[in-house]
Structure 1
Amino acid sequence: MHRIALISEHASPLASVGSIDCGGQNVYVAHLARELGKRGYQVDVFTRRDKALLPDVVAFAPNVRVVHVAAGPARQIPKEQLLPFMPAFGDEMVAFMRRDSKGYDVLHANFFMSGVAALRARAMLGIPLVMTFHALGKVRRLHQGSADGFPDSRFDIEDELVREADCIVAECPQDLEDLVELYAADPARVEVVPCGFDDGEFSPMDRGQAREALHWAPRTFSVLQLGRLVPRKGIDNVIRAIGCLRASFGVDARLYVVG
């Protein structure tokens, strides 16, 4: 039976989605681990211990465990401040893996800081490394400028991960293009695997029935903004667009913000 180490330093599958630094990556890792477990893989998710009383290991789903790694203070820390603790994260993770006699067939690091820890594990244990970035530092800096709180050293780290990872998972064609153009990634070592969805939560239905269930006017031009309530999600842009539709084009547009 294949064993997989999913590494997600700041995004635990156990966290409450929508809280600080808890969003898409948490959901991605949680569902990926759960689905791999359903298919018979043994999965351990390594994430940083951010509360003192968390158990070392938590059963999360069939064939899936969450391993809390001691790295830095056992409290919530903004992810932009976690990089100095990643060498310790890697060392503690390697120590756990060495105590586990069964070993792992592959490391799958999520986000560049998990990649830092994973490189240490690969060097010490010789386990192949798959890398999913979820966001790229050079793209983030391009669009956020001074609002980007990560250090410039992120760029060199991501360059190294692109060179060293055995396989890189791009989440969409744009992700692949950014990796190739900004990081000189070898396209032959990148696999495009789109993010999925949970058909237990999302499924198609008649638009009229959906509007009726939500008590929305049946024909009003409506926009749904779904996401965490942080500036970089662009909610301000949607609000301005709705104002433009109403003021400049006479559209009775309505905006529903869910977050």
Structure 2
Amino acid sequence: MKIALISEHASPLAVAGGVDSGGQNIYVANVARELVAMGHQVDVFTRRDRALLPVVSDMDGVRVIHVPAGPPMQLPKEQLLPVMDEFAAFLIDFFRHERDPYQVIHANFFMSGLAALRVKDALGIPLVTTFHALGRVRRIHQGAADGFPDERFAIEDELVARSDIVVAECPQDEADLVEHYRADRSRIQIVPCGFDADEFWPVDRATARDALGWRKDEFVVLQLGRLVQRKGIDNVVRGVGVLKQAFRASARLYVVGGNSDAPNELATPEIARLHGIARECGVEQQTTFVGRRGRAQLRYFYSAADVFVTTPWYEPFGITPVEAMACGTPVIGANVGGIRYSVADGVTGFLVPPRDPGALAERLDQLRRDPGLGRRMGEAGLARAHAEFTWRGVGNSLAAIYARAACLVPARTEAEQIAVPKRAVAGAVQR
């Protein structure tokens, strides 16, 4: 099949770890690679955010098309909705000039979906949508901190109603679609995120710590991912503080992520806030901010830790727990969203309430006192990751969904596509 993946703000070529660069970037990159490995032709459309980017880049056989929409500079994703009409117009023109027609569009995030709906209207191409986050659910958890306009809700309503298939990333995602968007369950398919077995595998802990320059005799807690407030990293810092104060136990906390390779409070203001919390909790000397690291280095961090912790209060899926399990490391995760799905409580790690440093500290102390339990959980997590969460499995599931969607909506002929007036695009985007 010839497949168009649309990911307006999350380029598969971006370095993960920044404020707007994380799970969706990784998802799109790996899905595209897997589909190409299966023999499909895949193009990824993402917004041009730098002036010197070429129109088309190659990524392991995947064409990445940088769409000229808005100024060629990085912008917060919350500011991109006004340029989606320009994005959609480019897509329609590009699609029309391709020798071979696209057989399916897979939109990632609601703004990509908005542009994809316009393409579907103009060219009759089937549409599959993965939201990665839902506006109404985000608003419940973020409140005034949610920077997206209210128009997002109506756009998502239309996408849920008009997408040929909606991909939910976990059972909670499916439940939210039904509860908050009246989605038809028969048009929802659950496909989780995954990990790359060529990228993540267990490294001997002593070897990993040597590579990172970490001490061998410390109980190490790892937090890795985007440094934004909703990820609940402050809860992890406070949990290490409670571990010290209430359990009289010490732990070294490494925080990996940010907008620069060296930890910089100006580039990543969240570091400054977390640094202050660590000082208040009396664990400033035990907390190390590492900065952003490349994907090839991450397996050493996961493998070197005694436990990986992630306690967001809202998480549609969360790729990092799966990556940690793929490295044989037990996971303590918040009992929310996709983490509730990926982490088997009491088997591959523990689930704890979000915003509860006391509960987190209790589980940290349990693993600290019983290294054998941590090893058994790590082994179980490794087996679960390979059984349930590989990108190859994700690619196979999505390919089957694309084939089903292609049968649901017969593509228009080339003559019919050309006959659609381009002026219809702008009006459609205004709706």
> What residue is the counterpart of 1:195 in the other structure?
193
> What residue is the counterpart of 1:113 in the other structure?
111
Matched, 1:162 2:154: no
In the alignment, structure 2 segments of 5+ residues that lack a partner are 258-431
- Residue 82 of structure 2 aligns with an amino acid whose one-letter code is P
Q: Give, in whole Å, the separation in 1 of the partners of 2:242 and 2:174.
A: 34
- Residue 104 of structure 2 aligns with an amino acid whose one-letter code is V
Work out whether residues 221 and 251 of structure 1, in 8 Å CA contact, stay in contact via their aligned partners in 2: no
Q: How does 1:76-87 map to 2 (within 5 A)?
A: 76-87=74-85
Please, what TM-score do these two structures have when normalized by structure 2? 0.57
Report the CA distance between 1:34 and its aligned residue: 0.9
Q: Give, in whole Å, the separation in 1 of the partners of 2:218 and 2:14.
A: 37
Matched, 1:56 2:55: yes
Q: How does 1:137-152 map to 2 (within 5 A)?
A: 137-152=135-150
Cα deviation code 1:49-84 (max 9, x no counterpart): 11222211112222x101111111111111100001
> What residue is the counterpart of 1:29 in the other structure?
28
- Residue 47 of structure 1 aligns with an amino acid whose one-letter code is T
- Residue 35 of structure 1 aligns with an amino acid whose one-letter code is E
Matched, 1:89 2:87: yes
Q: Which moved more, 1:166-175 or 1:202-211?
A: 202-211
Q: How many residues are matched? A: 257
Report the CA distance between 1:135 and its aligned residue: 0.8
Cα deviation code 1:205-230 (max 9, x no counterpart): 55566556656565754321011222
Report the CA distance between 1:26 and its aligned residue: 0.9
In the alignment, structure 1 segments of 5+ residues that lack a partner are none
Q: Give, in whole Å, the separation in 2 of the partners of 1:149 and 1:76.
A: 16
Report the CA distance between 1:167 and its aligned residue: 0.6
**Secondary structure of the equivalent of 1:123?**
helix
- Residue 32 of structure 1 aligns with an amino acid whose one-letter code is V
Cα RMSD (Å): 1.7
Q: Give, in whole Å, the separation in 1 of the partners of 2:50 and 2:216.
A: 47
- Residue 144 of structure 1 aligns with an amino acid whose one-letter code is Q
Cα deviation code 1:80-108 (max 9, x no counterpart): 00001112111110100001121101000
Matched, 1:253 2:258: no
Matched, 1:3 2:2: yes
**Percent of residue pairs identical:** 64
- Residue 152 of structure 1 aligns with an amino acid whose one-letter code is D
> What residue is the counterpart of 1:104 in the other structure?
102
| Higher gyration radius (CA) | 2
Q: Give, in whole Å, the separation in 1 of the partners of 2:94 and 2:109.
A: 21
Please, what TM-score do these two structures have when normalized by structure 1? 0.93
- Residue 253 of structure 2 aligns with an amino acid whose one-letter code is L
Higher relative contact order (CA 8 A, sep 6+): 2
Cα deviation code 1:219-253 (max 9, x no counterpart): 75432101122222211111011111211122323
Q: Give, in whole Å, the separation in 2 of the partners of 1:20 and 1:254.
A: 25
Work out whether residues 56 and 66 of structure 2, in 8 Å CA contact, stay in contact via their aligned partners in 1: yes
